[in-house]
Amino acid sequence: MLSLTLERDSHEGLFPIRIDLKTDAQIIALSGPSGAGKTSLLKMIAGLLTPDRGHLSVAGTVLFDSEKRISLPAWQRRIGFVFQDNRLFPHLSVKNNLAYGRFMNGLGHDPFHEAHVITMLDIEKLLARDIGELSGGEQQRVAIGRALLTKPQLLLLDEPMSSLDANRKREIQPYLLRLAAEGVPMIYVSHNADEIAELAGFVVSVEHGIART
Amino acid sequence: MMDWLSLSPQEWEAVAISIKVAFWGTLASLPIGIALAFLLSRKQFPGRALLDALVHLPLVLPPVVTGYILLIVMGRKGLVGQFLADHFGIVFSFRWTGAALAAAIMGLPLMVRAIRLSFDAIHRRHEEAATTLGASPIMVFLTISLPLAWPGIMAGAILCFAKALGEFGATITFVSAIPGETETISAAIYAALQTPGGETNVMRLALVSIAISFAALLAAQAMTRKNRSRQGGL
């Protein structure tokens, strides 16, 4: 169960944004024209942008509540974020990019989970490489893997498949569906109507920074 | 035939002191330079413009004035100098450590500028990504900002080292030029110029000074190249 109401006034040249969501759906799609504020909404949920008012709880844990003055910093939220521009760390190898979240969260080694994610994304042969040597699609797969390996309690995906070919998409989609079924909710930004239809249980349209259900 | 090229023991001493002073001056100012650069690049706070100006002051002040200020503040009878001498036994005046301090202060503006540019150029997006992966602000700084700014930090350190190596005005004002303690290459060249028949000494020391500076620049270039190839896509 995902419950959130977050609102942010106009700051630093960004227009005001607002999202209101209460749903049992495990995969929620945000759709809308580019520049509508979808990425800003995701950042606000992740804690990278601070809301002025609202409430956010994931699986019963309160992450933000303006009335109770609760605001967990982004790094303690365990919210995975797959950015549209992948944002892999250029000074670390693929292997260390993947291990970064586990290390920072003090998680133990989970060889089964790691092997599964690595196989599913077909990035095993990339592990020793530098980020600069990867193609766009490879980078995006590593970025998805990096977010998954932190075992997030909520996964935010900002057009994660835009640089993947159709075959790879077909392989990743079922994994995302299964992950959702296992209890990791996702908020998913996409322009692609087919993708949304196949994945999302709940669609929110975003216009001028306002998310409407 | 090439005898005129070999340095006298006193000249060797001046070379060694120069390198020692520049090395320790640079090393000591590195953490301060990194902290100041990060502060000026990322944080908004009252007095920021003032701090910025203060850091850059040695760049525009006559070095003799900087040396004089150091003498007043850090000298044996100075405000801070006396306190350090009485409580910690740290003395700067007329010691090579004082020369290192003067060199560090003269080199700091150049160092801060280079490192700050590098912090400015790092995309916040990598720091954001690290945050979503569970890295605390201090870990973001240590594992993302600092390594990504490394080429700038090295460039800043080399600039500071080069400046420190050539420093003259502030050093001679603050710690004089005592052979074997505070007489650097620059001071030795100046002294040799004042001595009748000292031209060959001047020539030798000038050549050594050129060689050291050139080596430092080549080292800096090599380091930047290595770093760039490692960072690939950045």
Which domains occur in chain A, in start order? 1-78+187-213 (3.40.50.300)
In the predicted structure, residue A13 carries a pLDDT above the cut 80: no
Question: Which CATH number applies to B9-231?
Answer: 1.10.3720.10
Whether A136 and chain B come into contact, CB under 8 Å, resolves to: no
| Local structure of A20: helix, strand or coil | strand
- Locate the domains of chain B by residue range: 9-231
Percent above pLDDT 90 for chain B: 55
Say which residue, B153 or B6, is predicted with more confidence: B153
Which pLDDT value is given to residue B227? 60
Whether A76 and chain B come into contact, CB under 8 Å, resolves to: yes
Whether B143 and chain A come into contact, CB under 8 Å, resolves to: yes
Alpha-carbon gap: A39 to the closest alpha carbon of chain B (Å): 13
Nearest-by-CA chain B residue for A101: B133
Q: Do A81 and B232 touch (CB under 8 A)?
A: no
Q: Do A131 and B137 touch (CB under 8 A)?
A: no
Which pLDDT value is given to residue B232? 43
Cα distances (Å, whole numbers) of residue A90 to A146, B48, B118, B125, B234: 14, 31, 15, 12, 6
Structure confidence by residue, pLDDT tens digits, B167-224: 999 999 998 888 888 899 999 999 999 999 888 889 999 999 999 888 888 877 777 6
Residue A131 near residue B233, CB atoms below 8 Å: yes
In the predicted structure, residue A9 carries a pLDDT above the cut 80: yes
| Local structure of B34: helix, strand or coil | helix
Which pLDDT value is given to residue B52? 93
Under the banding of pLDDT at 50, 70 and 90, the label for residue B157 is very high
Which pLDDT value is given to residue B234? 39
Whether A89 and chain B come into contact, CB under 8 Å, resolves to: yes
- What are the structure tokens assigned to B199, written together? 């031209």
In the predicted structure, residue B229 carries a pLDDT above the cut 70: no
Q: What is the average pLDDT value for chain A, to the nearest integer?
A: 87
Which of A64, A52, A51, A50 minimizes the C-alpha distance to A2? A64
Judging contacts by C-beta atoms under 8 Å, the chain A residues touching residue B132 are 46, 48, 74-75, 77, 79-81, 147
Q: What ipTM does this complex have? A: 0.89
In the predicted structure, residue B20 carries a pLDDT above the cut 90: yes
Under the banding of pLDDT at 50, 70 and 90, the label for residue B44 is confident
Which pLDDT value is given to residue A76? 93
What strands, in cross-sheet order, belong to the sheet with A2-8?
Answer: A70-71, A61-65, A53-58, A2-8, A17-23, A210-212, A202-207, A27-31, A186-189, A154-158, A79-82
Cross-strand bridge partners of residue A4: A21, A56
Which pLDDT value is given to residue B131? 95
- Please count the residue pairs, one from chain A and one from chain B, whose beta carbons lie less than 8 angstroms apart: 79
> Mean pLDDT, to the nearest integer, of A80-89?
91
Whether A90 and chain B come into contact, CB under 8 Å, resolves to: yes
Percent above pLDDT 70 for chain B: 94
CB-nearest partner of A48 from B131, B135, B139? B131
In the predicted structure, residue B140 carries a pLDDT above the cut 70: yes
Interaxial angle between packed helices B199-231 and B9-42, expressed in degrees from 0 to 180 and rounded to the nearest 10: 40
Which pLDDT value is given to residue A104? 93
pTM: 0.82
Structure confidence by residue, pLDDT tens digits, A123-165: 889 999 999 888 888 888 899 999 999 989 999 999 888 777 8
Residue A17 near residue A44, CB atoms below 8 Å: yes
> Mean pLDDT, to the nearest integer, of B67-87?
89
Under the banding of pLDDT at 50, 70 and 90, the label for residue A97 is very high
Q: Do B135 and A75 touch (CB under 8 A)?
A: yes
Alpha-carbon gap: A164 to the closest alpha carbon of chain B (Å): 19
Structure confidence by residue, pLDDT tens digits, B79-119: 888 888 888 888 888 899 999 999 999 999 999 999 998 89
Which pLDDT value is given to residue B233? 39
Nearest-by-CA chain B residue for A90: B231
Say which residue, B194 or A168, is predicted with more confidence: B194
- What are the structure tokens assigned to B139, written together? 């870990």
In the predicted structure, residue B27 carries a pLDDT above the cut 90: yes
Among B122, B124, B127, B132, the residue to mutate for chain A (most A Cβ within 10 A): B132
Q: Do B132 and A80 touch (CB under 8 A)?
A: yes
Strands (E), chain A: 2-8, 17-23, 27-31, 53-58, 61-65, 70-71, 79-82, 154-158, 186-189, 202-207, 210-212
* Residues in Cβ contact with A71 at an 8 Å cutoff, skipping those fewer than 6 apart: A47, A50, A64, A65
